[in-house]
Amino acid sequence: MPAAAGVKVSIRGLSMRFPAEAGTVDVLQDLDLDVREGELVCILGPSGCGKSTLLNIVGGFVRPTAGTVTIDGVRVTEPDRRRIFVFQERGVFPWLTVEGNIAFGLHHLPDGERRQRVEHYVALVGLGGFERTYPHALSGGMKQRLEVARALAVNPDVLYLDEPFGALDSITRLQMRGELLRIWQAERKTILFVTHDIDESVQLADRIVIMSARPSTIQRIVEVDLEHPRDLSSRGYIEVRDRIFEEIGLAHKV
């Protein structure tokens, strides 16, 4: 099937089966999904539904049992420096300073240009003054920003974020979402964002892909037609949120 115009990432018939103690476990079953260029798509699902597996397959780290992922029409078989995966802050290299981490993917550039880029991204994620600091001395949120900066510095066209703010406290998490949106609007990357947090997905996404429990399929795709910055108490926001709660089969009361 030819991809529609403007489609960046195209997933077709994707299935994943893992060996288990007794036989096998089907994690993903026959997924189809298109992500448009410059789009921010959240993949939302309960823990263990295989959404991280999906992202790892799209990132080229894991081979699917069946189906294909193509980006710009080219099949993905291995990781690629044009598409960077951001792990929940664990991806920063503890043996490199903030500067060293951001410069990691810029090895091939001449010194001057490399320095310029590092400077730019240090500033973009608000780590000015911490250039020579090692990650252990940074807070969780700063480490997360550092990893995002390292990813952006190589100027990728796609970012994969796997529950990137999951380990942060709720205040930092809110700030980081704002930062991510700001960066996304400035740089217009295509972003695939895995989360289990309904509010997070409604705050960020152009579209929310709701995954079913294992073996996962795409249960529904919800368009979020709300301008940024989003008003978290507006009717539109609450309507989208309620729809997702309903879709997942959760009563909206605890």
Partner 1 sequence: MLRRVLIASSGVAVLLAAWQLAAAAAAPSLLPGPLPVVRAVGELAVKGLLLRYVVASLFRVTWGYSMALVTAVPIGIALGLSTWAERAFNPFIQLLRPISPLGWIPIAILWFGVGDLSAIFLIFLASFLPLAVASMHAVHNLDETNLRAGRNFGLGRLALVRRVILPAAMPQLLVAMRITLGIAWLVVVAAEMIAVNSGLGFLIVDARNAGNRYDLVIAGMLMIGLIGLLLDSGVRRLERIEMRRRGYGA
| Residue among 78 and 225 whose Cβ is closer to partner 1 | 78
Minimum CB distance to partner 1, residue 130 (Å):
14
Minimum CB distance to partner 1, residue 81 (Å):
4
Minimum CB distance to partner 1, residue 60 (Å):
8
| Residue among 63 and 228 whose Cβ is closer to partner 1 | 63
Taking CB atoms within 8 Å and a gap of at least 24, the contacts of 129-135 are 130/98, 131/97, 131/98, 131/99, 132/97, 132/98, 132/99, 133/97, 133/98, 134/94, 134/95, 134/96, 134/97, 134/98, 135/92, 135/93, 135/94, 135/96, 135/98, 135/101
Rounded Cα–Cα distance for residues 191 and 38 (Å): 7
| Residue among 65 and 97 whose Cβ is closer to partner 1 | 97
Per DSSP, what are the bridge partners of residue 10?
Answer: 34, 70
Binding site for partner 1 (CB under 8 A): 59, 61, 78-81, 83-85, 87, 90-91, 93-96, 104-105, 134-137, 154
Minimum CB distance to partner 1, residue 75 (Å):
18
Minimum CB distance to partner 1, residue 69 (Å):
15
How many CB atoms lie under 10 A from the CB of residue 19?
A: 8
| Residue among 28 and 86 whose Cβ is closer to partner 1 | 86
Strands (E), 73-206: 74-75, 83-86, 158-162, 190-195
Q: For the chain, percent helix, then strand, then coil, each to nearest 5? A: 35, 25, 40
Minimum CB distance to partner 1, residue 245 (Å):
32
125 within 8 A of 145, measured Cβ to Cβ: yes
| Residue among 78 and 227 whose Cβ is closer to partner 1 | 78
| Residue among 136 and 235 whose Cβ is closer to partner 1 | 136
Q: How many CA atoms lie within 13 A of 140 on its CB side?
A: 14
Minimum CB distance to partner 1, residue 221 (Å):
27
Two structure tokens written together for 111: 């010194």
Reference 89, options 125, 61, 60; nearest CA is 125
| Residue among 87 and 237 whose Cβ is closer to partner 1 | 87
